Chains A and B, each alone.
Chain A
Amino acid sequence: MTVVLGRTRGERGDSVEITVTVNGSTYTRDVEPRRLLVHFIREDLGLTGTNIGCDTSSCGACTVLMNGESVKSCTMLAVQVNGEELTTIEGLAPGPDELHPMQRAFQEQHGLQCGYCTPGMVMASVSLLAENPKPTEAEVREGLEGNLCRCTGYHNIVKSVLAASGQNVDS
């Protein structure tokens, strides 16, 4: 296999105009076709709540919602979301002094330690409950298989999601 490090802008890759709705606001920007969605979100829109962990679609730290479904923004191009609706961690809470039920559940159940994986975990969990409102514990564990956490051992994350789904987690 040949590794080509050459080809730069000018030879290829003229910018493309895209319009995206992110957290309810509409943005129109010129982007290079190779711009990754996660860089577009963090650098072009300044929404740095979405983290980059592995940059190889393994860890889920970069998870955002596209039209309500979880996607890994390190494995999408910004041009692929032209015309679509995104939600990032900044867009979940209903107001500046309120938390989304999933965020509140993570806080109450101690679903985070360092917090690095948390934005992605929360977004993946919101998507999970949208598809399966009352998951079993096993379904939560399986539903979060695309998200890695180096701190919590997952147990309290699973409890957080079960609590957010309105299920009793003390028993």
Chain B
Amino acid sequence: MIPVAFDYQRAGSVEEALSLLAEHGDDAKLMAGGHSLLPMMKLRLAVPGVIVDVGRLSDLSYIRESNGHVAIGALTTHRQLETSEVLRAECPVLADVAHVVGDPQVRHRGTLGGSLAHSDPASDLPAAVLALGGTLVARGPNGTREISAGDFFTGYFESALAPDEMLTEIRVPKTPGAGYNYQKFNRRAQDWAIVGAIAVVGEGISGVSLVNMGSTPLRATAVEEALASGASAADAAAVAAEGTDAPADLNASPAYREHLARVLTRRALEAAGVS
């Protein structure tokens, strides 16, 4: 499978990437790792006229502590996330979630910014950043703005990013001492989750999110409210499917996904230390 012909520009800086986006408008697409975009271009579901390659912007590849949170450059690969000592110490759930994305080859190429911008409700990392209540930093022609993860995912493969904006940084809170767990349910090793449930529970944080239970990654607000009013893991998990809109596909019916959401949420909560 071969993509439709396109023009190629390698950006040497964020400024250059932004000016190429401004110049070519809707016809241009950023490419980071290319591990979501290129498969879609090969299937000709995506037919950008101009590819702006930002894959070599190594100054956007970092993980560092900063003012009470962890700041991660948008071009940081899944492999860098899963092996990061800063994340292991300060926000280990993100390293754990990165570790189960695809397979090693995918993790060597795929980036956090690309995964978030792609906004696939079946992806793992968007739901993790959502459960953590992270913040996304975008740069565009009018400067920099911060978008909370809760406002970022607007629809099926759609985000709050404008076509002329680029994600530069993702900020997640430090979660010292918090319990955490990701339950990813799939049939084959490298696959996307049929359903997934992420829990991060501790002092100052009580985030639960669901993968592949609607058109965006979802915050399990009913579960979080139940936990806040003192419910047990089992009782809180019983409401996990509330407010979801599970898709039907070859792998699972909506009813089966709802069942999985409840079971996986209970397991994630228990593994995160909620009794």
A interface residue numbers (CB < 8 A to B): 1-9, 11-14, 16, 32-34, 36, 55-58, 60, 63, 66, 69-72, 75-77, 79-80, 82, 124, 127-128, 131, 142-143, 145-147
Contact = CB atoms under 8 A, between A and B. Distances in A.
Given A1-B45, A57-B35, A80-B55, A6 B4 contact: yes
B47 A7 contact: yes
B7 A72 contact: no
Which of A3, A77, A128, A147: most chain B Cβ within 10 A?
A: A77
Contact of B190 (A13, A36, A58, A80): A58
A2 to B, nearest CB: 8
Contacts of B105: 57, 60, 63, 70-72, 124, 146
B39 A13 contact: no
Contacts of A58: 190
B3 interface: yes
B6 A13 contact: yes
B102 interface: yes
B103 A69 contact: no
B34 A146 contact: no
Given A1-B45, A4-B44, A146-B104, A33 B39 contact: no
Given A32-B5, A34-B3, A80 B108 contact: no
Contacts of B4: 4-7, 12, 34
A8 B104 CA distance: 34
B259 interface: no
Contact of B39 (A2, A9, A56, A71): A56
A32 to B, nearest CB: 7
Interface of B: 1-8, 10, 31, 34-35, 38-39, 41-42, 44-45, 47, 49, 51, 53, 55, 79, 102-106, 108-109, 189-190
A34 B109 contact: no
Contacts of B45: 1, 3
24 contacts: A3-B44, A7-B5, A7-B49, A12-B7, A33-B8, A34-B6, A36-B2, A57-B105, A57-B106, A63-B105, A69-B108, A70-B104, A70-B108, A71-B108, A76-B38, A76-B109, A77-B38, A131-B104, A143-B104, A145-B103, A145-B104, A145-B189, A146-B103, A146-B104
B39 A82 contact: no
Nearest to A8: B5
B38 A16 contact: no
